[in-house]
Structure 1
Amino acid sequence: MADKRKFTYEVLQNLTHDKRSPVFTEAERGKRVITESDINELKDGQELILSKGYIITPLAKDRLKQRKIALILK
């Protein structure tokens, strides 16, 4: 019974986290350039929130469009 509850909890946690928007800040990422590999770490349909000053490579922009990831600049 405990395993079933743990499994249910983990599934619910994953479902709620899927809707969260990743926020890249300089301190968290340690860099100011967003590349295709950064975009590949995200889930399709998510939002990507960036603070001002980030550089997004052209290939990363293409991947954002392909995977329908919204870019929000703050």
Structure 2
Amino acid sequence: MPDVIGGNAGRAYEQMSAELDMTFRDASGRGRPVDDPTAWRICGSQPSPNQPIKAYPVVFEVVRVPERCENAASK
């Protein structure tokens, strides 16, 4: 799994969507839909960065761009 933590979810989607089955999950715990990944920042991933991908979809835990990952419930 590439290390994309801290990056823009939209860029990750553009760069990896052809290679990976991926989904985005609101890491704040509020269950907000991630309709436009460009408005979200990646706080975590399953699998973790630099780990082999063994199951799909790959899950990116994200927060809105102005929010901080430290405030995310599932960071």
TM-score by length of 2: 0.25
Structure holding more strand per residue: 2
More helix by share: 1
